[in-house]
Structure formats: structure tokens, C-alpha cells
Amino acid sequence: MKTLRMTLAAVGLSAVSSLALAAANPLSVHVLNLENGLPSPGVNVTLEKHVAQTWQPLAQGVTNEQGRISELFPAKQALEAGEYRVVFKTGEYFKKVGRDTFFPEIPVIFEVKNVEQHYHIPLLLSPYGFSTYRGS
């Protein structure tokens, strides 16, 4: 019983510390597979900022077992107002899971106006369609 309580306490602390870390980072993403209702681990995601006429690479990550990247924005940079693009490499993901897809990648362009806010971009994914929105 003591071991169970210690394990539950450790899991709770881990969840709290993950939330605290995510709160410090201004950008997170989450990918859910609508076909099976499960998170999509192993999706490569890139972050870029629109500068002049080009997209400047800022960061990249891979979704974890929960389909999340809780800290996508570079830790040593300050979030600035402007246009950003998150690109989900969905073709690579579907190839790994043995499925065809119509969308080899899904770019999501969004605008940061308030640098004090957290930006969360969920992607609801299927092989032949997707949806995204501003999450919390």
C-alpha cells in the first residue's frame, strides 16, 4: 500500500512539473488521430517565423506517447509578435504506421499578438482530412 501511495504521488508530481514546464514555454502542440481516437506519437513538427519574405526555422520536435510537444518554442528566445508556422510532417507519421495519406505535411500559420499568452495548437488528424484550432 505504501508503494502504491508513493507511486501515485510520483505520478502526480510528474504531471504537475510537466504542466509547470509547459506553462513557461509559450507554444505547445497536440496531435490526435481521429481514425482510431488515439494520440499520434512520433510526428515530426517544425516551427518557423515569418521574417521579411521567408520562413526562418526556429525549432523542431517529435510528439511524445501522448501526441504532445509541450515546449516547442526555443527556450533561449523571447516570443515576439508576428506570424509563425507549425508544420506537422504527417506523411512520415502515416508511413510509419502503414497508412496512406493525402496530406504529406500540414502547415498551420498563426499570428501572435500578445506575447504574454500561451499558444496551443491541436491537430485532429485522419489520412484524408484534418482540423485545427487555437487550444488552451
The answer to whether 50 is a known ligand-binding residue is no
Q: Which residue has the cell 509541450?
A: 70
3-state secondary structure of 89: coil
The answer to whether 68 is a known ligand-binding residue is yes
The answer to whether 133 is a known ligand-binding residue is yes
How many CB atoms sit inside 10 A of residue 64's CB? 15
How many CB atoms sit inside 10 A of residue 135's CB? 13
Q: Which residues belong to the annotated binding site?
A: 30, 68, 133
Q: Which residues belong to the annotated binding site for substrate?
A: 30, 68, 133
